[in-house]
Amino acid sequence: EELNSCQTDDNFFLTCSENLSDDLIKAAKLYSEECFFINIKNGELCDKLNIKANHLHVGGAEEHATYDLSKIDFEELKSFMNKNRFPLVSKVDHHTFFNLRSSGNNLILLLLDLEKGLNAHLSQFTHYAKRHKRLGEFIFAYIDGKYYEEVKKKKSAEGIIP
C-alpha cells in the first residue's frame, strides 16, 4: 500500500541497498526517461514488499522477475532492464512505439477496435502473455486499429505512404 500512490501502467524497478553500484546507476540512467527506479533503505518496508537485499525487483501490475545484484554484469543488467521495462501488455501509440521498437525484443501485436470494447480480447491476450512471459524475448502490445486505419488514410492522402 506504500507504493499505491505511485499509480502507473509502466513497470518500475525497486531495490533495497545501502550502496548502489556504479554499474547499476549507469544502467538505470539508460532508462531513466521512461522508468522509475526506487531504492528503499527501510529494511522493514523491504521485508513487507518481499524485496531481497541486493536484488533488483521489477514492480508493476503483474509479478515480474528479479536480478541478483551480487553477481552484477553490466551487459546482463542492461539486458534485464531492457526486457523488463515494459508492462506485461503495453498499448502502442505515438508515445510508446519507438521505445517498443528499439528494445530489440520481438513484438507480438494485437490490433483492436477500441470503440467496440476490448475487455474480452485484452483479457485473453494478457492470459497468453502471462504464459509466455518467461521466454523473455517477447513484448506483448496492442494498438487501436481504428486510429491506425485513420492515420494510414491521412498519410496516404498526403502522399507520405502508398
* pLDDT tens digits for range 76-134: 888 888 888 888 888 888 778 888 887 878 888 888 877 776 777 888 888 888 887 76
Per-residue pLDDT reduced to its tens digit, 8-55: 566 788 899 888 889 999 999 988 877 889 899 888 988 888 888 888
Fold of 1-85: Glutaredoxin (3.40.30)
Beta-bridged to residue 51, according to DSSP, are none
d(Cα 47, Cα 16) in Å, to the nearest integer? 9
125: left (phi over 0), alpha (psi -120 to 50) or beta: alpha
What's the whole-model pTM score?
A: 0.69
Task: With residue 150 as reference, give the H or E element that holds it.
Answer: helix 145-157
Specify whether the CB–CB gap between 23 and 76 falls below 8 A. no
Domain boundaries, the chain: 1-85, 88-157
